[in-house]
Amino acid sequence: MTNSHPSTSHPAPTTAEPGEPGCAGGLTVLDPPGLLGPADAPEDGTDGTAAPSATVQDRLAGRLSDITSLHEHTERLAHARGLAATLDAVLASGAALLGADRGVLVTLMPGGGPGQPVGLGLDRASLGALETVPTEQSLLARLLGEDDRPEQLHSPDLAEDPAVGGRLRELAVQLGLGGAVGLPLATVEDGPLAAVVWFYDRPAEPTGCQRELARRYCEFAAPLLAKQLEVERIRRTTEALRRGLLPDHLPRAAGLRLAARVVPAGLDHSSGSDWYDAIPLPDGTVGLTVGSVFGDGPGAGPGSAPGAAAAMGRIRAALRAYAVLEGEDPVSVLGDLELLLKTTEPTRTATAVYAWVEPGERRVTLAGAGHCPPVLVGRHGAEFVETSLSAPLGMLACWEAPGIEFTADRGDTLLLYTEGLARRCGPTLHAGQANLRRAAADAPRDVRIDPDRLCAHLLAVCPVPDAAPATDDLMLLAARFE
């Protein structure tokens, strides 16, 4: 296996080798007079300007083709949106420039180890097999090294290369991998960011020109990848903080089984923030709630989502306190919450459902404020628990709505959900609610009797739309009466 080590200065452009069409000494554009030798000068001298020879014209045409190809691939990369699209573009464009068939790319995790591999033409099993290569034999690990990082790695035939470790040679035979070319993606400021190895389906070695094109491409890709990795790091940190504002576990109560699902929308798309909660109360009862916080003053949009998430945390904490103080009266709980919202969050509104549950008696008392109606799933189907028509909290001078009370049958499941789930289930909010109720009613019996499986089923039958990113969080809370 051949190694090319980095140097402090850029190497001089490689010269074209015989039989390498389209490669004319790398990508450095030379002045036409410098390309002309004495043999290219006109014989009659009538013109005083030497006409380029056919060989020089071919070299210039090949160079122009190389530059055009590289520009097309870098432009495609520049238009990639998101980390996943960027990684896919690097794999696909590198393979095209090298004439390779397959590839694998890993990014360097904050802790220093490689992340989850991304493949081109390699299925999950193949990627998993490549992860079994010991670190000392891994081409990717060498390209991710902080010290002595090679500028390039290439092997004409992995299965027969004595410089390749035994495990990698074994996998090359199993997976049908021939030649390989590896490149690091690194910047001076950030160090190593990722490593990528492209494979041929046969023993092969790229031309010097192809290796140069791939190297130049990776030099362009590295700073773009650095920005995408930073954005992804911030997104993951923010989402972890948002999830930290929600319960980390559900309480256990005799006669009641609980399950929940959370699918947050990205902060760059959402203009609100949702919550769910299950609150064990001192007398053995349980308070169940879901809700949404919106707004950040006039013209609030996606940029207001971080503020809405922080407000959601404050409101949920306040609701827990009100539930402990007067949980058996849902109307009072939401009324206190509305007063708090108007006093401390005057530019925001919220929708909510709060239910006080006595598990032993299977008695439920609940009230809603402009929120989607809960669904009660029983042995004979599913029906809406119609809360009284009321405005969201913080919209009127004084919020007021009556509560309702009912007794569930043994085996019934109460579903509380936010608007995000309803909109995921249909083209409109009303249609989505109807589809959600129907999906719950049509769930197989063994699914309906398990609240966790029922939550998973409802998310599976209401898939994420492909068209546009979600703009609403999704919260689903299920409570089954045993």
> Tell me: the pLDDT tens digits for 209-220?
999 999 999 999
Q: Is residue 41 included in any domain, yes or no?
A: no
Q: What Å distances lie between residue 407 and 5, 363, 410, CA to CA? A: 75, 4, 10
Query: Is residue 261 in a domain?
Result: yes
Mean pLDDT value of segment 35-60 = 55
* Per-residue pLDDT reduced to its tens digit, 120-164: 999 999 999 999 999 888 999 999 987 788 889 999 999 999 888
Q: In this structure, are 145 and 287 located in the same domain?
A: no
Into how many domains does the chain fold?
Answer: 2
Question: Encoding tokens for residue 457?
Answer: 């089923």
Residue 294's pLDDT band (cuts 50, 70, 90): confident
pLDDT band at 269 (very low <50, low <70, confident <90, very high): low
Percent of the chain with pLDDT over 70: 83
Q: Is 40 within a domain?
A: no
**Same structural domain for residues 463 and 382?**
yes
The alpha carbons of the chain give a radius of gyration, in whole angstroms, of 31
Closest listed residue to residue 409, CA positions, set 481, 479, 357, 359? 481
**Span 291-319, average pLDDT:** 74
Residue with more model confidence, 297 or 282: 282
Across the chain, mean pLDDT equals 83
Q: For residue 166, how far is the Cα from the chain centroid?
A: 35
The Cα–Cα gap between 271 and 135 comes to 45
Is residue 247's pLDDT more than 90?
no
Three-class HEC string of 408-427: CCCCCEEEEECHHHHHHCCC
Mean pLDDT of the 471-475 span: 82
Amino acid at 479: A
**Full residue range of the structural domain in which residue 343 is found:** 247-481
Dump pLDDT digits (tens) for 74-130. Answer: 999 999 988 999 999 999 999 999 999 999 999 998 766 778 899 999 999 999 999
Any idea what the CATH number is for the domain that residue 320 is in?
Answer: 3.60.40.10
State whether 295 and 404 are in the same domain: yes
45 is a domain residue = no
Tokens 């019996």 — which residue? 445
Q: Determine the pLDDT at residue 65.
A: 85
Residue 301 lies in a domain: yes
Q: How many CB atoms lie within 10 A of CB 448?
A: 23
d(CA 241, CA 294): 18
pLDDT of residue 51: 58
- The whole-number average pLDDT for the span 339-360 is 91
Q: Say whether pLDDT at 207 is over 80.
A: yes
pLDDT in the model for residue 308: 77
Q: Are residues 251 and 226 in the same domain?
A: no
Query: Looking at the structure, do residues 227 and 271 belong to the same domain, yes or no?
Result: no
Same domain, 456 and 316: yes
Q: What is the pLDDT of residue 310?
A: 82
Mean local confidence (pLDDT), 41-50: 48
Q: How confident is the model at residue 62 (pLDDT cuts 50, 70, 90)?
A: confident
Determine the pLDDT at residue 114.
79
Give the predicted TM-score (pTM) of the model: 0.64
Residue 44 lies in a domain: no
Confidence of residue 266 (pLDDT cuts 50, 70, 90): low
The average pLDDT across 443-469 equals: 83
Q: Residues 395-411: what's their mean pLDDT?
A: 86
Based on the fold, state whether residues 185 and 252 are members of the same structural domain.
no
pLDDT for residue 5 is more than 60: no
At which of 237, 269, 298 does a domain end? 237
Q: Which amino acid is at 95?
A: A
Least confident of 19-23, 185-189, 252-256: 19-23
- In this structure, are 148 and 297 located in the same domain? no
Q: Which has the higher per-residue pLDDT, 160 or 9?
A: 160
- For residue 141, the domain's CATH number is 3.30.450.40
The answer to whether residue 214 sits within a structural domain is yes
Q: Is residue 34 scored above 70 in pLDDT? A: no
442 belongs to a structural domain: yes
pLDDT at 29: 27
In this structure, are 140 and 212 located in the same domain?
Answer: yes
* Residues 455-460, mean pLDDT to the nearest whole number: 93
Domain termination site, one of 214, 237, 260: 237
Tens digits of per-residue pLDDT, 404-420? 999 999 999 999 999 98
**What contacts 138, CB < 8 A, 6 or more positions away?**
168
CB count, 10 Å around CB of 459? 18
Same domain, 220 and 332: no
How sure is the predictor about 17, in pLDDT bands with cuts at 50, 70 and 90? very low
Closest CA to 367 of 336, 398, 395, 332: 332
Cα distance between residue 410 and residue 359, in whole Å:
10
The Cα 284–Cα 441 span in angstroms is 30
179 and 251 part of one domain: no
Q: Does 241 have pLDDT greater than 80? A: no
Choose among 366, 358, 344, 237: nearest CA to 291: 366
